[in-house]
Structure 1
Amino acid sequence: MSGDAPVVVVRGDDADASAVAESVTAAGGVVVDGSDGGTPAADASDADAVLAVGEPSLFAFADEVPPAPILPVACGVGRSLSRADVAAAVRALRTGATRTVEHPLLTVTVDGAPVGSALADVTLMTDEPARISEYAVSTPAEHVGTFRADGVVVATPLGSTGYAHAAGGPILAPGTGVVAVPIAPYTTLTESWVRQLPVTLSVERDETDVSLILDDEAVADVPPHAAVELAADGTRPFLRLTEGASDAA
């Protein structure tokens, strides 16, 4: 859009979402559909952007199609805005200084049984701190690697700025696949791997229980040799600001 008042949905359940909605309104935007300060003059189908405030509201879009491209605010993944950047984002929406990128939605199965979806990352992690297990990563075309570690995380480009990056993985551009990163590997030579989906993880040997975590939620225990397959199930749109906002956007 360009020139008109930007129409924005603000998602979040706490005081931060209310403060973000107030910032949108103060910057000349219109907040709609269930957000604090929202107006009945328009609804979500008119929205130019969805501001997802905090990771719970962002990760909820693994199970819900957003009405407009998502712009994370105060999140640990993605090109997240700070609350101070919200006014600049509204200005960018007004002038058309934005673009949309697509990030994959991951569907996850364990031995063929669906267990859920993830937007940012999928993690296998030992339940006891500092207790290592042996993990494997593979694709239909190759065995990628086997290693001993506390766990392994596979991140989309959205999630590659978060836990996977903290564990030593690269930040991925949209459309480049996913990255598999060992967590605290039992070696001085660490590797990470960028591959196209589908990707399969497995626990080759466990010395303690191993949990499967989708985004920030533990959903199951994974026994040895069970195939944890990550596949693409479409995408979710995300907004990028091309000018007039902070570099974090």
Structure 2
Amino acid sequence: MSDSPVGVVGDTTVADRLREAGVAVEPGTADSVPTTERVVAVGRPALRAVAVADTDPLVLPVDAGRGVRSVAREAVPAAVAGLDGADAERHPIFDVSAAGVDAGTAVFDVTAVTMEAARISEYAVETASDVVGQFRADGVTLAMPAGSTGYARRVGGPVVVPADSAGVVAPIAPFQTNPDHWVVSLDGLSVSIKRDEATVALYVDGTETTTVSRGESVRLRRGRSLRVAVLGESRSRFR
């Protein structure tokens, strides 16, 4: 194993366990991500912080979800010992804008949803080169591969592996009996509000960032990517 230090974000007890195993550790926080070549990110918030930081480490996700093939906490020392020989998956990260204004950076998913119960809106989804669909629904979620095992999966979307800019478009409680879900390129994808019966809130990785009105669009643009270590200790994303 390399003698260079390993950054740890999200849990000081994991850092302590690595030190006990003889690993040089550089602790960090979500607001101060270590600039080490390898970073252990414990939990989804820590993984997101590392992904959006101005660094490009090889990241070992710990208990951060199936979509990024996390390892369990008890497996961290063994996984860190194998990082020099790990494979790496590149997960796309997207810049999000609403009505032409920056609305954040998405690592997992982007969701537009009506804020009032029993109210629906009408959404139109388009890629950079094609019309995907138009539907009435409570909302719509756009999931990156890292987020395809989360909320998008619970509303019927498929699980996808990291591949260029591919992701999932999944309507939420659509007003139709046989709804479609799509796997498309998210780079340049837009969602427009065609009719709104209530305020539509925009969530980026689970955090509300703004609201969207009728005639306005949400757009995704491919940005950087997140390098995720895949080892024998990594969980399958499919089960």
CA deviation profile, 1:205-246 (whole Å, cap 9, x unmatched): 1121110111121010100120111110122222211x2x15
Taking the TM superposition and a 5 Å limit, the aligned residue runs for 1:23-42 are 23-34=17-28
Letter in 2 for 1:7: P
Q: Take 2:184 and 2:92, find their aligned partners in 1: how far apart are those partners?
A: 13
Match of 2:103 among 112, 115, 137: 115
The structure-2 alpha-carbon separation of the partners of 1:19 and 1:248, relative to structure 1 and needing over 3 Å to count, comes to farther
Unaligned runs of 5+ in 2: none
The structure-2 alpha-carbon separation of the partners of 1:184 and 1:97, relative to structure 1 and needing over 3 Å to count, comes to farther
CA deviation profile, 1:28-48 (whole Å, cap 9, x unmatched): 42211447xxxxxxx945x34
CA shift for structure 1 position 130 = 4.3
Is 1:73 matched up with 2:73? no
Aligned 8 A contact 1:8 1:30 in 2 = yes
- SS at 1:161's partner residue? coil
CA deviation profile, 1:120-152 (whole Å, cap 9, x unmatched): 111101112443222111012111011122211
TM-score of the superposition, structure 1-length normalised?
0.83
Q: Take 1:89 and 1:129, find their aligned partners in 2: how far apart are those partners?
A: 45
CA shift for structure 1 position 84 = 2.3
Runs of 4+ aligned residues of structure 1 deviating over 6 Å after TM superposition are: none
Letter in 1 for 2:142: V
- SS at 1:60's partner residue? helix
The structure-2 alpha-carbon separation of the partners of 1:246 and 1:139, relative to structure 1 and needing over 3 Å to count, comes to closer
Per the alignment, residue 198 of structure 1 pairs with: 188
Is 1:213 matched up with 2:203? yes
TM-score of the superposition, structure 2-length normalised?
0.86
Aligned 8 A contact 1:62 1:118 in 2 = no
The structure-2 alpha-carbon separation of the partners of 1:9 and 1:111, relative to structure 1 and needing over 3 Å to count, comes to same
CA deviation profile, 1:50-98 (whole Å, cap 9, x unmatched): 12222222222353123512222222352222222313312322xx341
Per the alignment, residue 175 of structure 1 pairs with: 163
Deviates more, 1:174-183 or 1:118-127: 174-183
Q: Take 1:70 and 1:91, find their aligned partners in 2: how far apart are those partners?
A: 13
Per the alignment, residue 88 of structure 2 pairs with: 100
Q: Take 1:140 and 1:195, find their aligned partners in 2: how far apart are those partners?
A: 10
The structure-2 alpha-carbon separation of the partners of 1:48 and 1:28, relative to structure 1 and needing over 3 Å to count, comes to farther
Aligned 8 A contact 2:40 2:60 in 1 = yes
- SS at 2:123's partner residue? strand
Taking the TM superposition and a 5 Å limit, the aligned residue runs for 1:218-229 are 218-229=208-219
Aligned length, in residue pairs: 231
Aligned 8 A contact 1:88 1:246 in 2 = no
Deviates more, 1:54-63 or 1:212-221: 54-63
Per the alignment, residue 38 of structure 1 pairs with: none
Letter in 2 for 1:25: R
Per the alignment, residue 240 of structure 1 pairs with: 230
> CA RMSD of the aligned region, Å?
2.3
Q: Take 2:211 and 2:2, find their aligned partners in 1: how far apart are those partners?
A: 50
Q: Take 1:155 and 1:87, find their aligned partners in 2: how far apart are those partners?
A: 31
CA shift for structure 1 position 9 = 0.9
Q: Take 1:128 and 1:31, find their aligned partners in 2: how far apart are those partners?
A: 47
Letter in 2 for 1:83: R
Match of 1:166 among 125, 142, 154: 154
